[in-house]
Amino acid sequence: MFKGSFVALVTPMDQNGDIDYVGLKKLVEFHIQNGSHGLVSVGTTGESATLPFEEHIEVVKKTVEYAQNAIPVIAGSGANSTAEAIFLSEQLANTGIAGFLSVVPYYNKPQQKGMIAHFEAIADATDLPVLLYNVPGRTVADMLPETVAELAKHKNIVGLKDATGDIQRLKQTQSLVPDDFLLLSGDDVSSCEFLCHGGHGVISVTANLVPAKIAQMCEAAAAKEFDHAHKINDSVAALHQALFIESNPVLPKWALYKMGLINSANLRLPLILPELQTKNEIEEVMRATGIL
């Protein structure tokens, strides 16, 4: 269902901070042409935290429209309020999306049983598949493997995006969930190891810039061509690191702007354009990688 390389898509904005739908269409077409297996629209990389509901829903709708059924689109629908997450899921349900990505509630630090109640309520409110998203580096709260295993019993909860970067965590989760429960890496730095240890795919920030390579890495790992997967990963490893020198998606947007794929690197406050030194660093890595 959701296997291979899914791009954690940025949301392009113009100089006024409005959504650049022309730029969004260009990005979607770029990813289709370069072999991405799917897109995640308005996840955290898509600045979900600062898009009001109306814009959030419209960006997802347009992403689905531009994809033209060529590849599936997963919609970010997480919130730290269960009621808000359910509302978003209900509003997005009939937009043509393939499923939802729902993040562990941030800031309020729910207990493990609270996480179970939160995600079960969301999954009960839809017939579409739901991917859980554990990213303790941003949410502080960490969803444990035992909690994932309990949630995997729900018919609508089909997988996990794991951004812990911990391969031991992957192994712990694998031992507790059914074989068909999807395990996707949300940490580009460790994504190749994740795939080679039985992960089913990635939801990748780096794929915004080099979609073909991330897709090929996923395909190689799925074919158990692990040396080839590592070789591809080595060619973009510096990008994995450089894109997170400042808070995501500051540098992915800057990089896409420098590549000419979007017309502005603007972000929604409180995020701002990168510092000059950081711009120089990411551009140096892009030149070394051959994309600038």
Specify binding-site residues for pyruvate: 45, 203
Q: How far apart are CA 156 and CA 140, in angstroms?
A: 25
Q: How far apart are CA 253 and CA 242, in angstroms?
A: 13
Which residue among the candidates 133, 213, 253, 258 is catalytic per the annotation? 133
**CA angle (7, 144, 98) in 5-degree steps:** 30
Q: How far apart are CA 188 and CA 249, in angstroms?
A: 13
Which residue's structure tokens are 């009001």?
52
Report whether 125 contacts 151 (CB < 8 A): no
Least Cα distance to 48 among 80, 20, 21 occurs for 80
Tokens for 204?
């990748």
Longest Cα–Cα distance of the chain, Å, equals 49
Which residue among the candidates 61, 106, 161, 213 is catalytic per the annotation? 161
Which residue's structure tokens are 């969301």?
122
> Which positions ≥6 away from 273 have C-beta within 8 Å?
250, 254, 265, 266, 267
Active site residue 171: no
* Residue 222 identity: A
Active site residue 257: no
Q: Identify the three-state secondary structure at position 5.
A: strand
Catalytic residues: 133, 161
